[in-house]
């Protein structure tokens, strides 16, 4: 049986961890987060692009730069 690849219209669920430059985990979600791939949502575009064509069990890694705003880092 062939695994379904992530594509527009699929409901995708994932867990994540965010690490700082030194590798320390600063945020983690062990409960799955779900969204409709290719739909309207608050997911970072870079993350959605990285998940495109993944299959169940795949892992992805990506990097983001902090954005400095008047009120702090985002």
- 33 CB-side CA count, 13 A: 12
Q: Is the pTM of this model over 0.75?
A: no
Which of 1-5, 22-26, 68-72 is most confident?
22-26
Query: Residue 35 has which token pair?
Result: 């969204």
Cβ–Cβ contacts within 10 Å for residue 12, how many?
19
Domain residue spans in the chain?
Answer: 1-56
Q: How far is CA 58 from the centre of its chain?
A: 12
Element (H, E) at 26: strand 25-36
Give residue-wise pLDDT tens across range 23-55.
Answer: 899 999 999 999 999 988 887 788 888 888 898
């Amino acid at each position: 049986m062939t695994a379904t690849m992530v594509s527009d219209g699929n409901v995708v669920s994932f867990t994540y961890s965010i690490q700082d430059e030194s590798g320390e985990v600063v945020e983690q979600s062990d409960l799955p987060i779900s969204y409709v791939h290719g739909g309207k949502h608050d997911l970072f575009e870079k993350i959605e692009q990285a998940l495109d064509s993944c299959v169940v069990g795949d892992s992805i890694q990506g990097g983001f730069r902090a954005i400095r705003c008047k009120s702090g880092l985002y």
